[in-house]
Amino acid sequence: MSTDSTYTDKLPTTAANQHLRHRKKRPRTYWMPYLLIAPAVLLIMGFLFYPMANVFYYSFQNFNPAKPYYNGFIGLDNFKAIFTTDELFASSLLISFKWVTIEVVFQLLFGLLIALLLTQTFAMRGLFRSIAIMPWAVSGVITSTMWSLLFNEHMGLINSLFIKLGFIDKNFAWLADINTVFPAIIITELWRGIPFFTITMLAALQTIPQDLYESATVDGAGRWKSFIHITIPFLKNSIILSTLLRAVWEFNNVDLIFTMTGGGPANATTTLTMYVANQAIVAQNFGYGSALTVISFLILLVFAMGYLKLSRFGKEG
């Protein structure tokens, strides 16, 4: 070993030397996390962004596999037809608004109420918690099939029960009547959707310090004041996020309606998403269905941004 190398090894390690060594090692450690997440990013791009780009592309096309001689680029004609001549678009958008509003509001109210009850201490609380979240584990197709049988005109349990209670005189076709079909699917989706808010609110309630309730009781505050001034402020962010996620989910909900009613009778349950399914899947008018999907995407994007802005999500007060 030479004298120079021995002398260099004996030199004290300075901050400059440490920085130089760190810079030499940085390229490898800097790129390693990106290399590790690269497969996941590629999968997301392949299964999410590529289909989205395809939808935007086909929205400017007249694309129907059953009529290939009409296929081709048509520019904004699909969007012009939607906003000028398509009467079903406006009605389906209104039905979607009613569907989302009713579902989210009542699911939140009942879910919060059940969560508040399940936070109390009582016998067999674990069993009741399991029962409360069981509908969430059932798939949409199974749920719609089960409730379709319950609403069945000839062998449905609801008709039998209502006849015995004296509410009706004869069997009624709940899913075939324009006046009762929408409330029927509302009840079905409520049964499936309430557990989502029950789970979310129950988890959020566990994070509230019990000392606050004890202090409020000492100060003479009742349950209602404690709920308004302690529970609601702590649940604010959870409520905002869960209602936003559920609103987007319900807006895009198609499996339950498609299985139970197919959008009928007389388009009484044709939401915008159901209209997209009928156009793209049933009629195979993929270009027009893609244009409707792009409009749905923009509606949800504007709604989500506006909702988070107005609700001051993540901010105090």
**Model pLDDT for residues 96-115, shown as the tens digit of each residue:** 999 999 999 999 999 999 99
pLDDT value of residue 190:
94
For the chain, give percent helix, strand, coil, nearest 5: 75, 0, 25
Q: Find all residues with CB under 8 Å of 269, minimum gap 6, and list them.
A: 95, 181, 182, 185, 257, 260, 261, 263
- pTM of the complete model: 0.81
CATH code linked to domain 86-284:
1.10.3720.10
Location of structure tokens 């800097």: 30
Cα torsion angle, 9, 11, 13, 18, sign:
negative
pLDDT, one tens digit for every residue, the chain (317 residues): 444 444 444 444 555 555 555 555 555 667 888 888 888 888 888 888 888 888 899 899 888 887 777 788 888 999 999 999 988 999 999 999 999 999 999 999 999 999 999 888 888 888 888 888 888 888 888 888 999 999 988 888 998 998 888 888 888 889 988 999 999 999 999 999 999 999 999 988 888 888 888 788 887 778 888 888 888 888 888 999 999 999 999 999 888 998 899 888 888 999 999 999 888 888 888 899 999 999 999 999 999 999 988 887 767 65
185-221 tens-digit pLDDT? 999 999 999 999 999 999 888 888 888 887 888 877 7
Q: What residue segments make up the domains of the chain, in order of their start?
A: 15-45, 86-284
- Between the two ends of the chain, the Cα-to-Cα distance in Å is 70
